[in-house]
Amino acid sequence: MSLDSLHSSFRSMTEIGGWPEEILSIGEVRRFERREALHKQGQPSLSVHLLLMGKVLREYEGRDGARIILDIHRRADLIGLTGFFDGGAHPDTSTAHTRGAALCIPHGEFQRFLSRYPEANRVFKQQVARRYRHDTAWATSMATDRVETRIRQLLCDLSDRFGVWGDVRGLLLDLGLTRAELASLAGTTLETVIRTVNKLRDDGLLTPDGRRFFIPDPEALRP
């Protein structure tokens, strides 16, 4: 990635994320390929990653080796926040869902940057609060909601963050997620996701198109 293209990408990103452009001077750009780990669960946490391009899955590996997808992150999001706060090992793995690039920033440099730029500190706090709200709401849903409700809420949440208006079929959600990855995000089985997606299709609330979904009326889909 050339410096010009990086600055162009970052100017576009600031319109979304609000980060000061000066952040480019405190880290190194790291390109990544699909399925490449930006950091792994249990590794020492020495830096944060600011996503410049692409999407990343935040995952947890259970004792049985099962992979659980916790969330999806996009451009302007910070990856690896927990270790920045407590200096401990990463509690999860960040895996590239697409090709992309991130700015790798050592903890000390990032802390000094936040101290120098109040606007960056504000954006940082907003991201921390948003992630806490997301994780708390999802943990509550996992404990109390029926599976169909969780799947509908998941599709609505993803559409709010990643959806774009497509053609006459409605809002387009195009994350390239397999049904198995949707099941992991929803905390259920592949069979249940397939059955629920088919039911939502039959009810006219969802139009599957391969790994994409069109949502004719997002408000009607909300549980």
> What would the pLDDT profile of 3-52 be if each residue is shown by its tens digit?
556 555 555 555 557 888 888 888 899 999 999 999 999 999 999 999 99
- The pLDDT assigned to 18 comes to 85
Q: How many whole angstroms separate alpha carbon 120 and alpha carbon 21?
A: 10
> What would the pLDDT profile of 94-139 be if each residue is shown by its tens digit?
999 999 999 999 999 999 999 999 999 999 999 999 999 988 988 8
Determine whether 115 is exposed, middle or buried from the number of CB atoms within 10 Å of its CB (0-12, 13-18, 19+). exposed
- The pLDDT assigned to 182 comes to 95
- The pLDDT assigned to 71 comes to 94
- Enumerate domains of the chain plus CATH numbers: 3-142 (2.60.120.10), 145-221 (1.10.10.10)
In this prediction, residues 65-84 reach a mean pLDDT of: 92
165 pLDDT higher than 80? yes
Q: Residue 161, Cβ neighbours under 10 Å: how many?
A: 14
pTM of structure: 0.87
- The pLDDT assigned to 7 comes to 56
Q: What percent of the chain has pLDDT over 70?
A: 93
- Count the alpha carbons within 13 Å of 163 in the hemisphere toward its beta carbon: 21
38 three-state secondary structure: strand
In this prediction, residues 56-62 reach a mean pLDDT of: 94
- The pLDDT assigned to 208 comes to 93
- The pLDDT assigned to 16 comes to 52
Only one residue has tokens 């049985």, namely 64
Q: Report CA Rg, the chain.
A: 18
29 three-state secondary structure: strand
Average pLDDT in the chain: 90
